[in-house]
Amino acid sequence: AQSVTQLDSQVPVFEEAPVELRCNYSSSVSVYLFWYVQYPNQGLQLLLKYLSGSTLVESINGFEAEFNKSQTSFHLRKPSVHISDTAEYFCAVTSNDYKLSFGAGTTVTVRA
């Protein structure tokens, strides 16, 4: 079984400032890792994923996440946020089956 811990429930940040959302996982086997984003009153959308290969993965809107096996982490970062990045972000993990385990979520509020 696997589990996910998102270390911050709320992250307020000013526009154009950097942001980091922390995610740690536990699993006894190899894992696949994901970040999903949920904008207000919408369903979840895939932001980025790590399956294998390069430990640094990027999304089309400037987010990146780095898989660190020794620290069992998959932190999400963006060097400069926009108002439109206000959303809830979920880290998720699976170990080679159909089911994702989600973290509790981190709410990012971007202020002008």
Partner 1 sequence: NAGVTQTPKFRVLKTGQSMTLLCAQDMNHEYMYWYRQDPGMGLRLIHYSVGEGTTAKGEVPDGYNVSRLKKQNFLLGLESAAPSQTSVYFCASSNTQVASGANVLTFGAGSRLTVL
Q: Is 96 in the site for partner 1 (CB under 8 A)?
A: yes
In total, the chain counts a number of residues equal to: 112
Q: What is the 3-state secondary structure (H, E, C) of the chain?
A: CCEEEECCCEEEEECCCCEEECEEEECCCCCEEEEEEECCCCCEEEEEEECCCCCEEECCCCCEEEEECCCCEEEEEECCCCHHHCEEEEEEEECCCCCCEECCCEEEEEEC
Per CB under 8 A, contacts with partner 1 among 28-67 are 32, 36, 41-46, 51-52
Instruction: Find the shortest distance in angstroms from Cβ 15 to partner 1.
Output: 26
Q: Which is nearer to partner 1, 41 or 70 (CB)?
A: 41
Q: Which is nearer to partner 1, 78 or 103 (CB)?
A: 103
Q: Which is nearer to partner 1, 43 or 70 (CB)?
A: 43
Q: Which is nearer to partner 1, 70 or 96 (CB)?
A: 96
Taking CB under 8 A as the criterion, the residue among 48, 85, 105, 108 binding partner 1 is: 105
Residue 13 identity = V
Binding residues vs partner 1 (CB under 8 A): 4, 6, 9, 32, 36, 41-46, 51-52, 90, 94, 96-105
